[in-house]
Amino acid sequence: MSGDIRRALVASPTPAARAAEERLRAVYDFAPIEAADMVVALGGDGFMLQTLHAMLEARRILPIFGMNLGTVGFLMNEWRLDGLDQRLAKAKSFKVNPLRMTVDTVDGEQFSIPAINEVSLLRETRQTAKLEVEVNGRMVLPELVCDGVLVATPAGSTAYNLSAHGPILPLGSALVALTPISPFRPRRWRGAILPEATRIRFAVLNPVKRPVSAVADQREVRDVAQVEVRIDRTTPLTLLFDPEHTLDDRIAAEQFIA
């Protein structure tokens, strides 16, 4: 292992990722994740999110270098067996501040869950959701009738947010996207771009008749009464990228894909 940097290796359970893991372990030395200074992750974007969430839950945040063995791989680097030491030495780091979703349910339970890509509120039945929207304590939409709404970080702006026709945000923009999903009323509202320090609160109108779930990346809470979303600067995450293909370059390039 080069220098004093101890690296751990984790892989998704897919056959391709497991095979790549075996090949890497045959060539390079890796430390247990408990003793590591950084992590190499093999898989797709979903596995990268799982790994980052595991770090947040363990309260031990390490820089992470992903190699794509999934489908999209937006948060990953290209898979290559050769030159890992050199790639890690030259990798460019990006700090990503996750969102923090605080949820109160109809039954009075409360949950606090981080989200790296987005927090989304989604209707649970065939009936549309009716939501009240506050920004920094000020009512901005007394009634948003929709299939749902989401708040996306720059890192997540090219994921679900883009599919919902939300804006692509440059990584260093310090902004979040507030994007409706199939809005019915107000019909012409297409969302907003807000400073990342903004506190956004959603109250579910008639939550028993029109139940709504809240999802932070891959973690769902059902039958919510209200949700508050804000940036959590206490737990910044570090993603590592090859200098010739960094995350901000990918975000910029996505704006020119038809």
Q: Report d(CA 132, CA 116) in Å as an integer.
A: 24
Alpha helices, H only, 67-202: 84-90, 160-163
DSSP one-letter string for 166-189: PPP--GGG-EEEEEEEEEEESTT-
Is 223 known as a binding-site position? no
Q: What is the CATH number of the domain that holds 177?
A: 2.60.200.30
Residues 12 and 83 in one domain: yes
With respect to residue 1, please indicate whether it lies within any of the assigned structural domains. no
Residues 15 and 75 in one domain: yes
Is 75 known as a binding-site position? no
Residues 73 and 175 in one domain: no
Is 242 known as a binding-site position? no
With respect to residue 153, please indicate whether it lies within any of the assigned structural domains. yes
Residues 104 and 90 in one domain: no
With respect to residue 47, please indicate whether it lies within any of the assigned structural domains. yes
With respect to residue 61, please indicate whether it lies within any of the assigned structural domains. yes
Residues 134 and 225 in one domain: yes
107 is catalytic: no
> Residues with Cβ < 8 Å from 86, sequence gap 6 or more?
none
Total domains in the fold of the chain: 2
Give residue-wise pLDDT tens across range 198-255: 999 999 999 999 999 999 998 999 999 999 999 999 989 999 999 887 667 777 666 6
Q: What is the pTM of this model?
A: 0.84
Residues 55 and 178 in one domain: no
Q: Report d(CA 221, CA 204) in Å as an integer.
A: 13
Single out the catalytic residue among 4, 29, 37, 45. 45
Give residue-wise pLDDT tens across range 97-156: 999 999 999 999 999 999 999 999 999 999 999 999 999 999 999 999 999 999 999 989
With respect to residue 2, please indicate whether it lies within any of the assigned structural domains. no
Residues 103 and 227 in one domain: yes
Is 205 known as a binding-site position? no
Domain that holds residue 134: 99-231
Residues 220 and 124 in one domain: yes
Give residue-wise pLDDT tens across range 162-206: 999 999 998 778 999 999 999 999 988 999 999 999 999 999 999
Q: What is the CATH number of the domain that holds 68?
A: 3.40.50.10330
Is 117 known as a binding-site position? yes
pLDDT (0 to 100) of residue 182: 94
In 121-155, which positions are buried (b, 16+ CB within 10 angstroms) versus exposed (e)? bbbeeeebbbbbbbeeeeeebeebbbebbbbbbbb
Backbone angles phi, psi at 246, to 5 degrees: -90, 170
